[in-house]
Amino acid sequence: MKKSSKKLIALISTVVLSVGMFAGCGSSATEETDSSNDGTTKEETGKTEEIALTFPCIWVGSDSKAEVFGKMVTDFNTEYEGKYQVNIEEQTDYDAYEDKIRTLISTGTAPDIFTVKSFADIQLFAEAGNLMDLSTFFEDSAIGDRFITGVLDDTAIDGKMYAMPYENAIIPIMYNNKLMEAAGVTELPGSFDELWDACDKLKGTGVFPLSEMTGDNAWTSMLWYSYAVAACGGADVYDKGLEDPAFVEAAEILRKMFDYTSSDAIGADATVVNGHFFNERSAVYTNGTWILGRIKSEGVAGLYDSLALSGGLSNDGENGGAYLNAVQAYICAGKQEDPAKEEAVQAFMKFITEKDKIVELTNSSGSLFAVSVDSTEITNTLQAEIVKQSADAAFTIRNFNAAMPTAVGNAFPSALEELVLDEITPQEFVETLQKAAE
Amino acid sequence: MKLRKGESLGVILFLAPALLLFVMFFIYPIFNVVGMSFFNWNGITDPVFSGFENYKDIFTDKVFIRSITNNVIWALAACCVQVPLALLMALILSRKPRFWQSFRTIYFLPQVISGIAIAMLWSAVFNSEFGMLNGLLKMLGLGKFATNWLGNPKTAFACVLIYGLFYIGYYMVIMMAGITNIDESYYEAAKVDGASPIQTAMHVTVPLIRYSVHTCITLAAIFGLRTFEQVYLLTNGGPANRTSLVVLYLYNQMRDNNYGGANASSVILIVVGAIVIVSIRKMFKFEED
Amino acid sequence: MSKKVKDQEMSFKFIWTPKNVVMNILKWILIVFFAVYTLFPLIWLVITSLKTNAEYFANPFSLPAVPQWQNFTNAFTQANLGQMIWNSVTVAFVGTILNVVVASMASYAISRFRFRGREIIFAAFSAGIMVPLNALMVPYFTIFSKIGLIDNLMSLRILYASIGLPISMFIIRGFMDAFPVEIEEAAIIDGCGFYGRFFRMILPLVKSGLVTAGTFQFITCWNEFVYANLLTSSPKLKTIQIGIRYFTNQFTTDYVSMYAAIVIAIIPSILIYAIFQKNVITGLTAGAVKG
């Protein structure tokens, strides 16, 4: 009797354990789901149905746009209270964010609003029919005119708009004037030959002339390569494709740059490169405007005030004065069945591209946007100067990663390492990239 | 043990929950993975059947060959260096030297700390400009050996591999737990025989924890074959793919939208792993019941 | 307990032969080497988490000029770590208990009984350790959206319990195998049935194995990030690993705050480890007899 009852208890507990973990789900599902996120059920008892939009957003946390962008979303929710509600899902780790978006898209559950950095991805998502067609939205001239000339045309895919260009990366070359003067360089280089002269002088004073890296996505070196490509091939170099000899010539320039950089450049990530420039260990640097705020707060005293900025350099007397300018965040919307939801998404897009809001966002974050603002409205003088220089530039050109398929950008760091280690020639470097493009 | 009457129900009931979860979270997805490995697929648009194309591509890719070689070296190093060190320290700590409990916690710390922090630390240690390792070498008058440890193709793989081999806590914990299950009478007997501590360890403890050693060796081999996180965070496979690993290779394929290739790499990884697991079990020659 | 250990240390007569002295020195060199080596990351982490980002960029190994304690308050409040720690605790506990219960039941069946296909089942389970889990985002997301558990912590509990099964079973079976069948056969003669032997005999015997597997499983749950980010979206349901990454953005990382968050995040896991392991000590007899 005693034994069998024990046996029974054991048996029951086993069954309960194995069944219970699934049975348990149903009840706890309701209690644990964040109900505030579930706009539709919440409003069922209310008067009008509020439309809730999901927005996994990367401009949160320590991102420089976080504060003002977050306020923008709150303001939108207040203005459209009872009608629309945008729910931000904080996404900080960018790789994980991209994985999530990709998974959601391939399972057919694209978020209502999300950002994409690569135009190639937008083409892919659009091809698969996961994105909302925004063509009519941009036909409205009140919307279309907000944007910088040409940027919308560049975003069109077969004449249709599947994304809204939003954040722009405008990238100057930055010089530490103090170090330059100490090395006897009084004028900013205008050509690569002048840059090499300056580098030789800088090297003599014991600093690293240039800031190069191959870690992560080799960001700063990729930007240098973009400037070299612009100088060798001119404004329409990307249209000519990777077969153009300019890419090989630019690879030779990039290879030479590594003779003037720190010993840890191979494998260096952004931390290392920033560390060198912020601490006056390196003299010439390239990065987007968003870094200015950090140079001010994390750089050594006086660094920010001794920054000098310029556009691209010329090669053999040609193609000088280019400026790297590319969209680096597009806002996309998942395809909707419900026209009311489409309206909600468009209302949000309209809201966050209003000029005064963009000015505030620009001034608070150091970032620049595809919405045109007057450079006089930019309070930060360096940032305003970059906008002005870019507007006056001989030509603007996308950075290499923005112009290439994702796989090419991914292949760039290891190909660069092989190039710098002299395991491959500049010609083979470009061939490696071509192979990745296939 | 042979099944007795009425016990098959128990066995089935005890296996059922594990099997259910296993089918859901391993078998079903793996069927997907195997199936998709025969397709050309970018993860978004419709897949196109391509037969063994993905496998052919992988086996002709020198980066993949390097990756799998690196993983095999990693697995061997873990089995031949890390596990023996862990065993040695388990034997020492199980004799309860002063503060042994604190040491046991300390040795385990690297397992608990987020991989990001450990990677950031070691990349700073190996850095050629301000790194600790070069600083130490210069201090010892060995400055000529200073190098960009993680950027030098000759040293990078050794660096990413070696530092983790001395984090022995994981395997040490398994073997110490094995030692706790040893009956005291074995030690009494050894004492009576006048065995030295080393003799006791070699002839009493080690044979009695052979199952734990087997567990550790197998886990070390498997973890070695599928490791990637510390490399991903430290070198991302560089310089020039010298530190590439299979799982990293697989992720890069996913990032390049080559899901067919990524799935084929997964299949190869699972097959290799299964062979290794079975072989190690055979090597230990456990008597069946 | 600690008193008892001390007594044993005292009663142990150290014989001053040159060989013993050398062995003792060697032993302590090893112990101290590993202690320094494994403590190094934690010490560096704590020191760095008290610096400013500028100091960190200037030299990763310097000491902070002024300890920046606000990094910790920043990390805690900005990233809302309190809620995240609580979520992680519930996820990790349920995920661990479920995992160990399921794994020990299955291990018992496989370790103690001969039936057709048992080695095949076990080999299949073991091969599961090899599966690159992060390549399964699409199928896992599909499963949980079908059973309606997206944006619900229960999905993480079930998933973590499941993905840890191969390792836990491997460890627990190893411990069960170590006990000869004869012990159980004796119990059978005493009239002890299938369930009785499992609950009253085998489980207590392999307690240290259960604790070991449980410790590892807990840490796996605690440190998992990819699926925590994929399967939840509400701010209320974020786990500690998402909190750690709160300070890494697309172009900028606030390293010192991140390190502070990491320091906060490892406290619970160290506690759990210490508490779990304390339970294993009781069985440790090897030190009681010294030669």
pLDDT value at position A40? Answer: 43
> Of the candidates B257, C142, C136, C135, which has an alpha carbon nearest to the alpha carbon of residue A108?
C142
Instruction: Let me know if A65 is exposed, middle or buried by CB neighbors in 10 A (0-12, 13-18, 19+).
Output: buried
Residue ranges covered by each domain of chain A? 45-169+326-380, 171-325+382-437
DSSP string, B156-196: HHHHHHHHHHT--HHHHHHHHHHHHTS-HHHHHHHHHTT--
- Contact criterion met (CB below 8 Å) for C32 and B103: no
Do B182 and C244 count as a contact with CB atoms less than 8 A apart?
no
pLDDT value at position A48? Answer: 64
Closest approach of A397 to chain B, Cα-based (Å): 24
Of A21, A99, A103, the CB nearest to C98: A21
Chain C interface test: which of A2, A4, A62, A100 (most C C-beta within 10 Å): A62
pLDDT value at position A19? Answer: 40
Ranges of chain B whose pLDDT falls below 70 = 1-2, 5, 287-289
> Of the candidates A390, A388, A380, A387, which has an alpha carbon nearest to the alpha carbon of residue A360?
A380
Do B182 and C125 count as a contact with CB atoms less than 8 A apart?
no
> Which CATH number is B150's domain given?
1.10.3720.10
Reported as a single tens digit per residue, the pLDDT across B102-134 is 999 999 999 889 888 899 999 999 999 889 999
pLDDT value at position C200? Answer: 87
Do C229 and A96 count as a contact with CB atoms less than 8 A apart?
yes
CATH number of A171-325+382-437: 3.40.190.10
Reported as a single tens digit per residue, the pLDDT across A313-337 is 999 998 999 999 999 999 999 999 9
In a domain, B279, yes or no: yes
Of C57, C161, C229, the CB nearest to A298: C57
Predicted TM-score (pTM) of the model is: 0.88
- Contact criterion met (CB below 8 Å) for A64 and A367: yes
Q: What percent of chain A has pLDDT over 70?
A: 89
Give, to the nearest 10 degrees, the angle between helix C255-281 and helix C81-112.
Answer: 40
Collect all residues of chain A within an 8 Å Cβ-Cβ radius of residue C226. 96, 99
For B266, the domain range is: 67-284
Site of tokens 């499963």 = C143
Among chain C residues, CA nearest to A279: C58
Average pLDDT per consecutive 10 residues, chain A (438 residues; last block may be shorter):
46 43 36 42 55 94 91 95 93 91 90 93 90 92 88 91 94 95 93 96 94 93 97 94 95 96 92 93 94 91 94 92 94 93 94 94 92 89 92 93 92 96 96 92
- Count of domains forming chain B: 1
CATH 1.10.3720.10 maps onto chain C at 80-247
Reported as a single tens digit per residue, the pLDDT across B60-73 is 999 999 999 999 99
Distance of alpha carbon A438 from alpha carbon B185, whole angstroms: 69
What stretch of H or E contains B49?
A: strand B48-49
Closest approach of C107 to chain B, Cα-based (Å): 8
How many residue pairs bridge chain A and chain B with CB atoms within 8 Å of each other? 93
pLDDT value at position C87? Answer: 95
Of B14, B101, B197, the CB nearest to C290: B197
Of B97, B181, B196, the CB nearest to C283: B181
- Report which residue type is found at C160: Y
pLDDT value at position A38? Answer: 42
pLDDT value at position C205? Answer: 87
Closest approach of A129 to chain B, Cα-based (Å): 9
Q: What angle do CA B181, B182, B185 make, to 5 degrees?
A: 140
Sequence-ordered alpha helix ranges (H) in chain C? 2-11, 18-48, 53-58, 70-78, 81-112, 118-127, 137-146, 153-163, 165-177, 181-189, 194-196, 203-205, 207-223, 226-231, 240-244, 255-281
CATH number of A45-169+326-380: 3.40.190.10
Instruction: Let me know if B224 is exposed, middle or buried by CB neighbors in 10 A (0-12, 13-18, 19+).
Output: buried
Q: Is B123 on the interface with A (CB under 8 A)?
A: yes
Chain B interface test: which of A8, A263, A279 (most B C-beta within 10 Å): A263
- For domain C80-247, the CATH architecture is Orthogonal Bundle (1.10)
Q: Is A107 on the interface with B (CB under 8 A)?
A: no
pLDDT value at position A247? Answer: 97
pLDDT value at position A1? Answer: 39
